[in-house]
């Protein structure tokens, strides 16, 4: 008996070959044994959409929404399904929900202690070195034995007193 992942991969291969009837049959068989398989539920909705069965695609989309209510792809698919079914108001609602879910994902701070895979990290360039420049408008600190004009503190006392 193939694993759930193997069944899903086989169904997705059929989907990628535009063999939607086989993909739908395989995804339904997988969901009979594992009704909470999120990816299969989402893919079944998309396969039904590609076949033109918008009402059933919407139903499957809502089942996926029950599994992961804040998932961006669920709302994106539902928006697409509703738009093709002619319900613009619900399509816009789910489009907005997809946008909100995308913002929520971007705002989430990285998990503590989780740095991800180091080879997938963005390259961080070294900051450029900034050369020291002559700044004539800044006053230089007085050095011993030199007088600065107009600065009485830098004048040495008269030697005859």
Q: Longest C-alpha distance within the chain, in Å?
A: 112
- d(CA 153, CA 161) in angstroms, rounded, equals 17
Q: What pLDDT, on the 0 to 100 scale, is given for residue 14?
A: 92
- Asked if residue 28 belongs to a domain, the reply is yes
> Which CATH number does the domain housing residue 25 bear?
1.25.40.10
**Has residue 12 got a pLDDT over 70?**
yes
Q: Judge whether 156 and 148 are in contact, CB under 8 Å.
A: no
Greater pLDDT, 110 or 16: 16
Q: What pLDDT, on the 0 to 100 scale, is given for residue 26?
A: 93
Could you tell me which of 60, 20, 53 has the C-alpha nearest to residue 39? 60
- Asked if residue 112 belongs to a domain, the reply is no
Q: What pLDDT, on the 0 to 100 scale, is given for residue 136?
A: 74
Q: What pLDDT, on the 0 to 100 scale, is given for residue 40?
A: 92
In the chain, % helix, strand, coil (3-state, to 5) comes to 60, 0, 40
Q: Percentage of the chain with pLDDT > 70?
A: 80
The backbone region for 103, taken as left when phi is positive above 0, alpha when psi lies in -120 to 50, beta otherwise, is alpha
The total of structural domains in the chain comes to: 1
- Asked if residue 89 belongs to a domain, the reply is yes
Q: What pLDDT, on the 0 to 100 scale, is given for residue 22?
A: 93
Please write the tens of the pLDDT for every residue from 37-61.
999 999 999 999 999 999 999 999 9
Q: What pLDDT, on the 0 to 100 scale, is given for residue 148?
A: 55
Q: Judge whether 14 and 23 are in contact, CB under 8 Å.
A: yes
The pTM of this model reads 0.62
> Hey, what are 103's tokens?
């913002």
**Has residue 83 got a pLDDT over 70?**
yes
- Asked if residue 153 belongs to a domain, the reply is no
- Asked if residue 55 belongs to a domain, the reply is yes
Q: What pLDDT, on the 0 to 100 scale, is given for residue 112?
A: 53
Q: Which residue has the tokens 């969901």?
A: 31
- Asked if residue 132 belongs to a domain, the reply is no
- Asked if residue 10 belongs to a domain, the reply is yes
Please write the tens of the pLDDT for every residue from 115-138.
556 667 777 888 888 888 777 777
Range of the domain at 60: 4-107
- Asked if residue 43 belongs to a domain, the reply is yes
Q: Judge whether 60 and 44 are in contact, CB under 8 Å.
A: yes
Q: Judge whether 41 and 64 are in contact, CB under 8 Å.
A: yes
């Amino acid at each position: 008996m193939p694993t759930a992942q193997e069944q899903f991969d086989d169904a997705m291969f059929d989907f990628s070959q535009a063999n939607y009837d086989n993909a739908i049959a395989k995804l339904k068989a997988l969901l009979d044994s594992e009704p909470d398989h999120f990816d299969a539920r989402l893919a079944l909705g998309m396969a039904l959409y590609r076949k033109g069965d918008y009402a059933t695609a919407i139903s499957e989309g809502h089942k996926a929404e029950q599994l992961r209510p804040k998932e961006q792809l669920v709302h994106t698919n539902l928006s697409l399904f509703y738009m093709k079914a002619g319900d613009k108001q619900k399509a816009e609602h789910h489009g907005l929900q997809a946008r909100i879910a995308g913002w929520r994902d971007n705002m989430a701070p990285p998990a503590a202690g989780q740095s991800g895979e180091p080879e997938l990290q963005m390259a961080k360039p070294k900051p450029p070195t900034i050369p020291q420049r002559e700044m004539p408008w800044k006053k230089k600190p007085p050095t011993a034995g030199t007088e600065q004009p107009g600065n009485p503190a830098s004048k040495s006392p008269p030697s005859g007193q």
